[in-house]
Amino acid sequence: MTRLVVVSNRVSDPGPGQAAGGLAVCLLDAMRDRGGLWFGWNGDIVAEECEIAISSAKHGRCTMMTAPLTERDYREFYLGFSNEVLWPIHHYRLDLARFTLEAGEGYRRVNARFADLLTPHLRRSDLIWVHDYHLIPLGADLRARGVGNQIGFFLHIPFPPPDILTAAPEYERLAQTLLDYDLVGFQTASDQANFSRFVSEVLGGEIVAPDIVRLEGKVLKTGVFPAGIDVDAFVAMAEDPEGANKIRQYERHGATRLYAIGVDRLDYSKGLPEKFRAFRRLLDSYPENDKPMTLIQVASPTRDDLQAYIDIRHELEALSGKVNGKFGDFDWTPLRYIHRSVPRETIAVHYRASRIGLVTPLRDGMNLVAKEYIAAQDETDPGVLILSRFAGAAEDLQEALIVNPYDIDEVAHAMRRAIEMRKEERIERHQMLMKRIRQHDACNWMVSFLRALRSCRGMEDPRDQEKQLREI
């Protein structure tokens, strides 16, 4: 079997205690059976004068190969260009983007170093799969070092319309580096269309077919590959007897009231203040002595060094305090806000026990938490998923209650509808949603991307594509 080489900014620890959702989850779930080499940053930050050395560890069929970042790399590449330029712009938040020349240089420097470190360990037959916005130019850097392997790129976050991207300094040059990949994958059809429009309208290229663009003699295949989870593994996690016993103990201590759960990274793209305000509006709609539901919100820390994240943390603390101060009672804390990472195993059993999964980002590439919530449910008495129309998952999971997260009245109404929904309707919706997440699980995500990557080498036009697909 051809070795798969996965490259991402972070390489995740495959042991227990994984956080819910996210890039690491879908990669771990997808690579568990196939194996391969996973290369990236190990999370360590070292002084400038330290030598950057690679560490390697074997986990089952996967080899994890990692390296640290220097303090300057972390400041300029990670905090700077990746998360103060690319992240806000890709999430339609031009007001939060902050560009410096040093950050742009740091982004290029770290991508070049990744290419330097990885190239000596590649085999001629390797299939290389690069992930996400931190590493957009890595394919071009590998090509510059003579790597002729098939290289694919997958963007886990949204790809916005051209008029938003043109506000990002250097983005024209950066987007051109995507043409050095053989295949670029997106979460949704709208992301794919936005990219094709950017190549055509801004870079002056040509849309040869819905999934092929051409620019300055380079031909690139694109595709839509919705990321997924290992459904059966997550079902088993949610049905864990020890976890179920903990939930029963929790209920015996007076927590038998219905509750909703939200699990997100603490990020302005996740719509957390809007979610808290919608929950307050729900409570306002009930009689004074009626206590309809508790909201449990897990918001794991992230990028605590950036001011935008400090600001949203303070806002959530203030909002949760106001909700509990107004509505709380001796036997009821209406909003339980948890600002720390919680293991995926623990989250799974709480998903299963909750009546509502509240997934309401303002903008999201896919949102695997929505799929985890569905997988965790008891099929005989499932909860209801409330899902933002601006999450990539909404393109597929139409049996959820789809809402506009900016409209707090609409979200509050959806929560009330979920509270009152008959079991028969909940079961019917859940059956359809389970069918959809199985169709687009982690294995199918990987297989479909790698099959497309293998098929597109040497493509010049759509007729070549059709011929190669017939030969697979």
DSSP 329: B
Q: In 157-306, which residue ranges form alpha helices assigned H by DSSP?
A: 162-165, 171-177, 189-197, 231-238, 241-252, 272-284
Contact between 396 and 444 under an 8 Å Cβ cutoff? The reply is no
Q: Which of 90, 131, 134, 156 is catalytic?
A: 156
Whole-number Å distance between alpha carbons of 57 and 67? 12
Q: What SS3 class is residue 294?
A: strand
If DSSP codes are grouped into helix, strand and coil, which group holds residue 298? strand
Q: Which residues contact 367 (CB under 8 A, 6 or more apart)?
A: 21, 359, 361, 387, 388, 391, 392, 393
Number of C-beta neighbours around residue 167 at 10 A? 12
Residue with tokens 């209650």: 401
For residues 103 and 88, is the Cβ–Cβ distance under 8 A?
Answer: no
364 catalytic per annotation: yes
Determine the straight-line distance between the first and last CA of the chain, rounded to whole angstroms: 15
196-199: Cβ within 8 A, 24+ apart? 196/222, 197/161, 197/162, 198/159, 198/162, 198/165, 199/175
Distance CA(11)–CA(41), nearest Å, equals 6
Tokens of 407: 């409209």
Q: Which of 29, 364, 396, 441 is catalytic?
A: 364
What is the CA 385 to chain-centroid distance, rounded? 18
Sheet of 151-154: strands edge to edge?
A: 55-59, 62-70, 36-46, 4-10, 127-131, 151-154, 183-186, 218-224, 212-215, 206-209
In DSSP notation, 60-81 reads: TTEEEEEEEEEHHHIIIIIIII
In degrees, rounded to 5, the angle at the alpha carbon of residue 428 between the alpha carbons of residues 424 and 429 is 120
Name the token pair of 138. 């890595």
**156 part of the active site:** yes
Residues that are catalytic: 156, 364
